[in-house]
Chain A
Amino acid sequence: MSNFNISGGITGKILRVNLSDDKINVEDNKFAERWIGGRAISSWILLNELETNTKWSDPENCLIFGAGALVGTILPASNRTNIDTLNVFNNGKGSSNCGGHFSPELKFAGFDQIVITGKAQKPIYLFVEDGKAEIRDASHLWGKTTFETEELLKKEHNDNKIEVASIGPAGENLVHGSGIIVDCGRAAGGSGVGCIMGDKKIKAIVVRGHKEVKVANPEKFVERAYEAYQKIMKRPTAKIFRKKTLGGLVYNDAEQFDELWEMMHTVRNSQDVHWSREKRTKMMGKNGVGRFFKKIQACYACPVGCQPYSEIGEGKYKGAKGLGYWINSVMWSGKMDVTEPDASLKYHLRANQLGLDGDNSSVVMSWAFEAYEKGLLTKDDTDGLELTWGNTEAMMELQEKIAHRKGFGDFLADGVVEAAKKLGKGSERFAIHQKNQDTLDPYRLAKGWSLACATSPIAGRHMRGSLNLPIAFGPKGAKFNPFSYKDQPPMVFWELRSKEIEDIIGICVYVGTWSGVYALEPSDYVELTNLALGTDLNEEEFMLLGQKSYNIEKAFNTLHVGFTRKDDLPHRRFFEDPIQSGPHKGEKLDYDKYNSMLDNFYDLHGWDKETGWQTRETLEKLGLKDVAEKLANAGRLIE
């Protein structure tokens, strides 16, 4: 068991709030000496403090907001907020993460983590300022959009510098695929974190801080951080993002990068991956969504600047304005084959206002479109909506219905697995989920992306080591062909540990090893962390910490849900239904090759290949004997 001696970076305090009895406590952050910060701490709290039979809607469920250990310092792009809780789709590990300006303010308010349990009787918001917190009435905010909520709270506090994380109607109505919105544009989606917040009747968390964040070696840290900024700015894409960013370079260059589009996209409920160049250009070419682009707003201390601010000045959606638009937003439209750029932007902005996670909700919506195509649903079931591919109006209306649980929207609001159970008629066959959570991602072509999403402890999300491009980093000498089964396990195993470190210190992947400008890497992280925290870590120890953090989430799922190897295989559609068009027409996953890839991945982790479970030997080697004991007591450890 590591014992880090930390003398900077963190605030050293955790805020505990129990909404059932209105108790607020501040405690010392005793977890940092083992886990440093960020998600690793939150995962550890959940593993140790939740009974394994706790369900997401039980008052005992914890909702944890956690800042990375270096958030609030001048480390480039150190602004990530981790949100951890039970996953509403499966009662296993729920986790989400977003950028923006919330987490730095939380640190300046004096806290590394906020741990919320219990349930409020009526709508409340939590105001956290300078080492203290208050539970305040939010009855007047209930029903408001996230945009309205932030605007009203800034007026009420007479302070434009408060930072707000809020839910919209979707979270209030316990829509499973609902998120938490920060900065009116940074969305923490997945796991239904917005639904958990709504269930606890928390409309918003407001943070404001005037305190300091100290680092152990101030001058050297700032000097090294400046070098990190320079390293980022030297990367070829660093200055392109800020000029052409609509989720990144690729999406303004719709006529290029054919292969990447094939790997990234899913079309018509994942029946296909190919979207013609004509459709892509219509959406993302010069006259596509980019024509509404006005300017950029960057996340805290970020030199990349990837978040567009757009305003629609014409047509049916005139007046819609706000932050964000990513590759995910394009994928949402592709799911329903909608190619109207103004509608797609409006749909994105409206998702943020409603607090709806577009990744989840577009899956269940496109499932409904396919059920309609197959005649399993008719207009009598859908409140008169014609769910035909490319029907923009239907997409827009269904989004509102889901967020408000109105009519047919209520039928879809618990996610695709529940909707398919209700409909039956064989519709389970094309309810695309992973570990019970609706999954947006592509699984057929880029095998590293597929492997990481399928095995992700947070169920079919791509932020745990997924890869589709040869990266500049990774294990020495490793080969990487995105289509090869053999090349993936070592790269994914490397990348997921790097990602854990990024979430422990709170740095954005867009300056790291996974995406964006591909600049900083674990050797940078370890140097900067040591200077900030006063630790004496080496790169190997840091990667090992990342591996431990991942193993906590794995153990949590084994204990709480009992996931096994079968839950780490992608949905049957990707094995059985070939790609319908384009250069990869006819391709699908090979069951035997996929299983060999999974064997290799388990070998690298030191997990049992038959069950997919962790072994005593591996956990003890990682210094996680206490985790092994928990699993052994539950009869879910391979001895």
Chain B
Amino acid sequence: MTNIKIKHFPEKCYACKTCELICSFHHKKAFQPSISSISVERDHINGIWSWSLNDTCDKCEGEEQPLCAKFCFYDAIVIEEGED
């Protein structure tokens, strides 16, 4: 799955962190957000949520599709064809 891109649409993101959590599961078969390739931060007072993906992302090698997109029920993470 190297010829795909993981795209995040901030306007659709609700900062539920499900992507961050399931990403850690891909890496470790346990739930540990601190080793996730994704990081979500929330500023509750100003209503700003930020999302980032680091270079430990292997696009969920071995899975049918990247789990972050599979578990995003807000359609904020979308898989597109092509290289990053």
Interface positions of A (Cβ within 8 A of B): 72-74, 101, 104, 108, 147, 150-151, 160-161, 183-185, 209-215, 218-219, 222, 226, 229, 232-233, 242, 294-303, 305, 309, 311, 321-323
Quick one: which of B22, B31, B43, B44 has the most chain A CB within 10 A? Answer: B44
Complex: how many Å from CA A150 to CA B44?
9
Collect the chain B residues with CB atoms within 8 Å of residue A229's CB. 71, 73
User: B73: shortest Cβ distance to chain A, in Å?
Assistant: 4
Complex: how many Å from CA A307 to CA B38?
23
CB–CB B31/A74 < 8 A: yes
CB–CB B44/A305 < 8 A: no
- For chain B, the bracket of interface size reads 20 to 34
Complex: how many Å from CA A210 to CA B33?
7
CB–CB B18/A301 < 8 A: yes
Q: 3 nearest interchain CB pairs?
A: A298-B16, A303-B73, A210-B34
Contact of A212 among B15, B30, B45, B71 (CB under 8 A): B30
CB–CB A213/B15 < 8 A: no
Contact of B25 among A74, A294, A295, A299 (CB under 8 A): A74
CB–CB A183/B44 < 8 A: yes
Collect the chain A residues with CB atoms within 8 Å of residue B49's CB. 297
| Extra contacts besides A211-B32, A299-B16 (18): CB < 8 Å | A73-B31, A101-B42, A104-B21, A108-B34, A160-B41, A183-B42, A183-B44, A184-B44, A212-B32, A213-B32, A215-B30, A222-B25, A226-B70, A242-B14, A301-B21, A303-B73, A305-B14, A311-B47
Closest to B18 in A: A301
Collect the chain B residues with CB atoms within 8 Å of residue A297's CB. 14-15, 42, 44, 47, 49
Q: List 30 A-B contacts (CB under 8 A).
A: A74-B18, A74-B21, A74-B22, A74-B31, A101-B17, A108-B33, A147-B44, A183-B42, A183-B44, A212-B31, A218-B25, A218-B29, A229-B71, A242-B74, A294-B47, A295-B47, A296-B14, A297-B42, A297-B44, A297-B47, A297-B49, A300-B17, A300-B21, A301-B17, A301-B18, A305-B74, A321-B46, A321-B47, A322-B45, A323-B47
Contact of B44 among A73, A185, A294 (CB under 8 A): A185
Complex: how many Å from CA A309 to CA B42?
12
B28 at the interface (CB under 8 A from A): yes
User: A103: shortest Cβ distance to chain B, in Å?
Assistant: 13
Complex: how many Å from CA A233 to CA B45?
29
Complex: how many Å from CA A233 to CA B70?
13
CB–CB B30/A151 < 8 A: no
